[in-house]
Amino acid sequence: MMMGRIRRLGDRIRRSRSVGRELRLMRLSITSLVILLASRLLFCTSMVSSWLRSVCLAMVPRTVVQRWMGRMLLTNQLLCL
């Protein structure tokens, strides 16, 4: 009688440990999935941003871009003073 209770208690403890282990693994996999999706989103955003920048620069005449770059250099030099 007592041995049966002890055995059932041991089985219950083993099951709860395995469930806890599975929950930890599930949480870990969900966390890694969220991190992966966030990094992919950041990568895609940066790619789209650089693509849009290059398209916009291609549409603007070169002299305007050179003037803008000259202003940026001058502004950066003033900021460094």
* pLDDT value for 60: 63
Mean pLDDT, residues 16-25: 78
pLDDT above 80 for 64 = no
pLDDT above 70 for 1 = no
Q: How confident is the model at residue 48 (pLDDT cuts 50, 70, 90)?
A: confident
Residue with tokens 């941003």: 49
pTM of the model: 0.42
pLDDT above 80 for 26 = yes
Where are the chain's structural domains?
Answer: 2-80
Long-range contacts of 55-62 (CB under 8 A, 24+ apart): none
Q: What CA–CA distance (Å, rounded) separates 43 from 48?
A: 9
